[in-house]
Amino acid sequence: MLKIERPEGDFARNYDSFANGESVYFVWLNRGKESVVLDLARGDDKDLFAALLAKADVFVQNLKPGAIAKLGFPIAELRKKHPRLICCSISGYGESGPYTARKAYDLLVQAESGLASITGGPDAPARVGFSVADIGAGMNAYQAILEALIARNRTGEGATIAVSLFDAMAEWMTVPLLSHEGGHPFKRIGLAHAAIAPYGVFRSRDGADILISIQNDREWRVLARNVLGDEKLADDPRFATNSDRVKNRAATDALIAGAFARADVAPLMALLEKADIAFARVSNCALLSAHPHLRRISVGTPSGPVAMPAPAPVIDQARSYGRVPALGEHTERVRAEFS
């Protein structure tokens, strides 16, 4: 995979230097790529770019709508010239529509799509803590490209794909949107559930936050008997059904908060696990760094290896992970091959 960079490089290279001297953003998203520096304002670099496109399977670009055409490579013409080429354009609001020309960054799209309105606590909306709009658009592009490659095997024809950050987030907002349009708008309640109780965060004696989820009345009886140590609560009419517990949420939560505050986190989690109660420790990055379930891979970078979380798919085939390229590391080899 060739990554075409400006002479000054992808600006994500310089976001930070926290990954062994490299940008964590760049390291995460660029392993296994080859870096080629081109200045598409220069005729010889344009010629080289055209030669690359002539042999490419897939062309992905995220310049603002219309910019690639101004550089001399309109997508419609590329598709006519190279019928097998799959062209994927990623932008903030897509290639058409009233907001096409707007600048769009991740946080802006989180706000515009309504995602921020359902994230956070009761007092104010909040940003999802990482670039979910960017990542969501990339995942949609990846999926669409794979579909186009499969289709091309049957038809011999490439495809023109457009993916926007806004569309990616709007589609993920389907449940809140349709709930709202059905007369039941979502309410921000932080790490809790508006329709289920107990479903929220409670603190242990030694200061750890534990999120529990009781999905039905049978689980409530197990919690009351085996964790709270009060079997009478199982049949207490204030808590016997989920609707009762939601109606009496403050009293329900107070019972659990009191019990959790009398136990340290390790024995408390052991007790919850033994009772088969759904729970999670509310972790932070320090806890995730040492998490017993975290899988890692080692990726080479120009500044040395970086241990990072492994990709989610676990496949029964040998896999290797390419290194992160230095700026322009492969330019001369590519020039020699395609010039």
What letter represents residue 326's amino acid?
A
Kindly state the tokens that stand for 178.
């349709």
Residue 240: partners with Cβ closer than 8 Å, 6 or more residues away: 217, 220, 234
* Known catalytic residue at 193: yes
Residue in 65, 163, 165 with CA at minimum distance from that of residue 115: 165
Residue in 143, 138, 109, 252 with CA at minimum distance from that of residue 193: 252
CA 28 to chain centre: 12
Beta strands 34-37; 2-5: pairing state = parallel
Residue whose entry in the numeric block shows the structure tokens 């490089």: 9
pLDDT tens for 198-249 read 999 999 999 999 999 999 999 999 999 999 999 899 889 999 999 999 999 9
Put simply, whether the predicted model's pTM sits higher than 0.95 gets the answer no
* pLDDT value of position 194: 83
CA dihedral 322, 328, 334, 338 (to 10 degrees): 140
* pLDDT value of position 207: 97
Helix (H/G/I), strand (E/B), else coil: 199: strand
pLDDT tens for 270-315 read 999 999 999 999 999 999 999 999 999 999 999 999 999 999 999 9
Measuring CA to CA, how many Å separate 315 from each of 144, 296, 320? 21, 15, 12
**Distance (Å, whole) CA 291 – CA 85:** 43
Choosing from 82, 180, 193, 330, the catalytic residue is: 193
* pLDDT value of position 187: 87
pLDDT tens for 235-262 read 899 999 999 999 999 999 999 999 999 9
Question: Is 158 within 8 Å of 152 (Cβ atoms)?
Answer: yes
Strand 199-203: give its sheet, edge to edge: 199-203, 209-213, 278-281
Residue whose entry in the numeric block shows the structure tokens 């700026």: 327
Q: How confident is the model at residue 82 (pLDDT cuts 50, 70, 90)?
A: very high
CA 87 to chain centre: 23
* pLDDT value of position 339: 80
Residue 195 has pLDDT above 90, yes or no: no
